[in-house]
Amino acid sequence: MLFTIQVNNKKIKAEKGETILSALNRNGIIIPTLCRMKDFTPTGACRMCVVEVEGRDRLVTACSQPVEEWMKIRTHSPRVIQARKTIVELLLSNHPDDCLYCERNLNCELQNLSEELNIRERRIRGKKIKPRLDQSSPAITRELSKCILCGRCVRVCEEVVTANTLDFIKRGRNTHIGASMDRDFNFSSCVHCGQCLIVCPTGALHEKHSITEIQEYLNKPEILKVIQYSPLVTAGIAGELGIKHNKYADRILNAILRKIGFDKVFTTGTGTDVCITEISGQLLEKLEKRTASPLYISACPAWVKYCEQFMPSQIPMLSTVKSPQQITGALIKTIVADQNKVNPANIFSVSATPCLAMKFEARRDGMMRKGISDVDSVLTVRELSRLIRLYGIAPSIIEPEAADEPLAGRSSSAVLAEVSGGLTEGILRALHYKLLTKEADKQLFRKLRSSGSFREISMAIGEYEVKAAVVDGLTGLGKLKTSINSGKSYDLIEVMVCPGGCVHGAGLPFSSARADVRSRAKLVYQTDDSEPVNLPCKSHHLINLYDKLLKENSEISDKKIFYTHFEKRNVLL
């Protein structure tokens, strides 16, 4: 039901049941917010969105107040502007004065609000928050002195990730946000997904930097510097550096990385094809043995840690196949090392990825061979773009170059793995071709490409009726449990912690807009539809790897380098 309200002496249309903020935004009137997040129940805690409503003595929070037909609203009256300005000044009164050195400089919501509200002097002086830097996590750095207590990270961790790592601690002026028992992150239940980092409006949460370490190795001529990057990295870098994302974007990135100082540039896509091939083999073995328990895909490191902490009974059902990043890293330290006659200890292997949890995964037990890590350092897309700018590379005049063999190619299924449900689709495609020697109709997988936190599919492949489920964000685990309790069974289950999959990874350029996540997913599906090689088994790079390279090296011909193990983790709750 539509009705008319008065805003700033002009009439606009509003819908019954919507909030004042929603009505204003829909009519092109922008109101600043700090604690509000789309699709979350508003709290009005930050008070930044206050407006003046005729007949009310106090200012009203627009994010939580339903609009009513009689309302006459003033959004930018002197009283309202002064209230917002005072709130920001109070936040700045005990905030560190280190914007030039801050991770979020020029991309900080508090900084933007200060500029928008024309704050040009310090009127209020408060006691600075005692600096506390928590770098115990391999993936996330916390700077508590920059926290403005908006509570976004707490809500995301509780309502989206369901890890419940963060909460408000103490009271009054001593209130701060921290992990259980106010311990460092390495003692907490954090799964390192980084969804908290995406929603943080300041520099209180950011990725743990790897640029300095990589710079040191780039200047060591005796070390072979190698980098791998996943398909989604190119799209992220293109957006950050203003490169047109087309069929040449990968090749331009290859050239850029070589100019920085990397000796070899590979695609993680080859490792993804291996991952799909190996898991499809495990799934076929399970079907042949008529095993009742499902096979969980273990390619998402945040999901694996969550399972180890909160669902230890499911650990035996986790696929022991490593993630694409770790598989590619293992191939670099074995086959690439042999081809270049280099000791694996003298290879510095870097991975560029949209996934923040990959930083944690690279440090896991079981991700090394003979005491040498599969992957030595992990860069987010944001870090990689900073590294490129640091070396003064002008992308517009770069000549495209191919990636290095033998890890230079992939199938389109490797790109599909970047979205939630994509790995399941790739595995079922591979199994379909293995059993029936023909490609499956992509229309069979429409359910996997739909939206929702829980999706399922059942399809006949040869003599088997294969049932698979996709959990898109950990809120879908409840639906999975309900489905299993109702008597349903599944052969394959994929769980992605980040809603939407890696297209919503915390290592991509900052954006919480659903439109950006959808556009990245659309790009993935377009790539899958446009490329000729859809199956890993038809990629000549994978054929060369399995039929020649693995067989030539007796130490790895058993393919054990593709596998790992998982175990229960105890955490403070």
DSSP-derived 3-state class of residue 465? strand
Asked, for residue 570, whether it belongs to a domain, the answer is no
Given pLDDT bands bounded at 50, 70 and 90, which one contains residue 513?
A: low
Asked, for residue 273, whether it belongs to a domain, the answer is yes
Q: Kindly report the average pLDDT of the chain as a whole number.
A: 93
For 79-111, letters b (16+ CB in 10 Å) and e give: ebeebbbebbbebbebbbeeeeebbbeeebbbb
- Please name the residues in contact with 226: beta carbons below 8 A apart, sequence gap of 6 or more: 262, 263, 264, 265, 266, 332, 336, 347, 348, 349, 350
pLDDT score at 573: 60
Reported as type and span, the H/E element at residue 320 is none
Per-residue pLDDT tens over the stretch 523-538:
999 999 999 999 999 9
Given pLDDT bands bounded at 50, 70 and 90, which one contains residue 510?
A: confident
Domains in the chain: how many in total? 3
CB 116 within 8 A of CB 217: no
Per-residue pLDDT tens over the stretch 137-186:
999 999 999 999 999 999 999 999 999 999 999 998 889 999 988 889 88
Distances from the Cα of 154 to the Cαs of 108, 212, 250, in angstroms? 19, 30, 37
Domain edge (last residue) among 161, 182, 207: 207
Residues 302 and 244 both lie in one domain: yes
- Domain at 69, CATH number: 3.10.20.740
Residues 322 and 198 both lie in one domain: no
For helices 109-116 and 78-93, the axis angle rounded to 10 degrees is: 140
Residues 276 and 378 both lie in one domain: yes
Distances from the Cα of 549 to the Cαs of 226, 274, 280, 332, 573, in angstroms? 19, 13, 21, 12, 47
% of the chain beyond a pLDDT of 90 = 80
Residues 47 and 169 both lie in one domain: no
Per-residue pLDDT tens over the stretch 458-485:
999 999 999 999 999 999 999 999 999 9
pLDDT score at 514: 67
Domain edge (last residue) among 42, 76, 110: 76
pLDDT score at 387: 95
Rounded to 5°, the CA angle 462-464-468 comes to: 120
pLDDT score at 50: 96
Asked, for residue 573, whether it belongs to a domain, the answer is no
Residues 249 and 304 both lie in one domain: yes
Asked, for residue 540, whether it belongs to a domain, the answer is yes
Residues 110 and 127 both lie in one domain: yes
Residues 413 and 529 both lie in one domain: yes
- Domain at 97, CATH number: 3.30.70.20
- Please name the residues in contact with 544: beta carbons below 8 A apart, sequence gap of 6 or more: 406
Residues 68 and 140 both lie in one domain: no
Residues 265 and 351 both lie in one domain: yes
pLDDT score at 244: 79
Rounded to 5°, the CA angle 120-121-122 comes to: 140
Find the farthest-apart pair of alpha carbons in the chain and give their distance in angstroms, rounded.
Answer: 83
Q: Using CA atoms, how far apart are residues 293 and 457, in angstroms rounded to an integer?
A: 17
Per-residue pLDDT tens over the stretch 208-265:
999 999 999 999 999 999 999 999 999 899 888 888 778 788 999 999 999 999 999 9
Asked, for residue 413, whether it belongs to a domain, the answer is yes
Per-residue pLDDT tens over the stretch 264-287:
999 999 999 999 999 999 999 999
Per-residue pLDDT tens over the stretch 336-391:
999 999 999 999 999 999 999 999 999 998 899 888 999 999 999 999 999 999 99
Q: Using CA atoms, how far apart are residues 551 and 562, in angstroms rounded to an integer?
A: 14
Q: Which domain holds residue 173?
A: 91-207
Domain edge (last residue) among 43, 76, 109: 76
Residues 148 and 201 both lie in one domain: yes
Residues 6 and 110 both lie in one domain: no
Instruction: Give the start-end residues of each E strand in 477-550.
Output: 492-496
Helix intervals (H) in 53-101 = 78-93
Asked, for residue 571, whether it belongs to a domain, the answer is no
Rounded to 5°, the CA angle 120-124-129 comes to: 110
Tokens 């009137």, located at residue: 29
pLDDT score at 334: 95
Given pLDDT bands bounded at 50, 70 and 90, which one contains residue 555?
A: confident
- Please name the residues in contact with 279: beta carbons below 8 A apart, sequence gap of 6 or more: 295, 297, 319, 321, 423, 427
CB 283 within 8 A of CB 492: yes
CB 296 within 8 A of CB 468: no
Asked, for residue 10, whether it belongs to a domain, the answer is yes
pTM of the predicted model, to two decimals? 0.93
Asked, for residue 480, whether it belongs to a domain, the answer is yes
pLDDT score at 318: 97
pLDDT at 34 over 70: yes
Instruction: Give the start-end residues of each E strand in 249-315.
Output: 264-267, 295-296
Cβ atoms within 10 A of the Cβ of 4, count?
A: 10
- Domain at 289, CATH number: 3.40.50.1780
Give mean pLDDT, residues 495-506: 94
Residues 43 and 115 both lie in one domain: no
Query: Cα dihedral angle (479, 285, 536, 406), rounded to 10 degrees?
Result: 120
Rg (CA), the chain: 25
| 264-267/224-229 β-pairing | parallel
CA atoms in the 13 A half-sphere facing the CB of 101: 5
pLDDT at 128 over 90: no
pLDDT at 512 over 60: no
